[in-house]
Amino acid sequence: LRVPSQLHDIKSAYQKIVKDHLVSGEEPPEQVDIAKTLGITPQRLSTAIRATGSLVSVDAPVISPGSGSYKGSAAGGDGGNSQELLILDTLKCAEPKPEDQVEISFLRQCLENAMASELTPYERDVLRLRLGLDSGTGKTVREIVEICGGGVTMSDVRSAERRAFKKLRSPTSVHTHNLLAYLDLAGADITFR
């Protein structure tokens, strides 16, 4: 990362002023006063200090085993097998992991194949709306009836949903073993009815 040399010069001048005050036994002045002395704005000074600071690698340990930050004694071992906590281990990301996205994509494709081969178009549409497979938010039975313009009743929607699930759960279904593999991976307990 290349930082303009002017920012390094500003930081050096700042550090010299602070050091001179500390050596003489005085309290260092505020950043605003130092910025006035250097003839720059306080924002420019804080930018120079921040931009020229040392970089920290995400692979750097937060707490290294030999740093003395751990409580307790090292009795019972040489500490050689203890794991370091890395900065990368503490970072959180709101987005799903790429491997989870791939897994979800495979599951979606498997579910699409099962629905295409086992269900009628009406049953597929009901399941898509109920589970929110297209929009991400599931619909209630009443909302599905409204979407259909009142052409179907609530009991029609419920029975179509029940039939669709029964067909997808059937042990004779071609795609059941694929769907069950995903459920096993998720740790779900499955029984056939």
pLDDT in tens, 69-114: 555 555 555 555 457 788 888 888 888 888 888 888 888 888 888 8
pLDDT of residue 191 exceeding 80, the answer is no
Kindly state the tokens that stand for 101: 């996205």
What are the φ/ψ torsions at residue 119 (nearest 5 degrees)?
-110, 155
What Å distances lie between residue 94 and 23, 97, 138, CA to CA?
48, 9, 22
With b for 16 or more beta-carbon neighbours within 10 A and e for fewer, the 153-186 pattern comes to eeebbeebbeebeebbeeeebebbebbeeeeeee
CA dihedral 66, 68, 72, 74 (to 10 degrees): 30
Q: How confident is the model at residue 24 (pLDDT cuts 50, 70, 90)?
A: very high
Tokens 């303009």: give the residue: 4
pTM: 0.48
Tokens 């086992």: give the residue: 118
Kindly state the tokens that stand for 179: 């769907």
165 three-state secondary structure = helix
